[in-house]
Amino acid sequence: MKILEEQANYFAGVFMLPASTFTKDFSYPSLDTFRTLKEKWKTSIGAMIKRVENLHILDKNQIQKMWINYSRKGW
C-alpha cells in the first residue's frame, strides 16, 4: 500500500509541477522560496519539497533540513 501511495504522489507531482517549468522558477532552496512559488503553482509547500526531492535538485542533507524547518513552522 505504501508503494502505491508513493507512486500516486510522484505521478501527481509530475503533473502539478512539471520539471521543465518548475525548475526554472526554483532558484534558492529555502522555505521562503517555496512560499513565493506557492502562489504561482497553487500547490502545497510539502508537495514542492517532495518534487524537488524527486528531481534530485537538492542532496539528502538539504532535503532533511528542509523537512525539519517545514515541521518546525507547523505547516
- The pLDDT score that the predictor gives to residue 53 is 94
- The pLDDT score that the predictor gives to residue 1 is 80
Look up cell 515541521; give the residue. Answer: 71
- The pLDDT score that the predictor gives to residue 57 is 92
List average pLDDT for each run of 10 residues in the chain, which is 75 residues long: 88 93 90 94 95 94 96 91
17, three cell numbers: 509541477
- The pLDDT score that the predictor gives to residue 16 is 94
Q: State the CB neighbour count (10 A cutoff) for residue 61.
A: 8
The string of DSSP codes covering 15-75 is HHS-HHHHHHH--S-SHHHHHHHHHHH-S-HHHHHHHHHHTT-S-HHHHHHHHHHHHHTT-
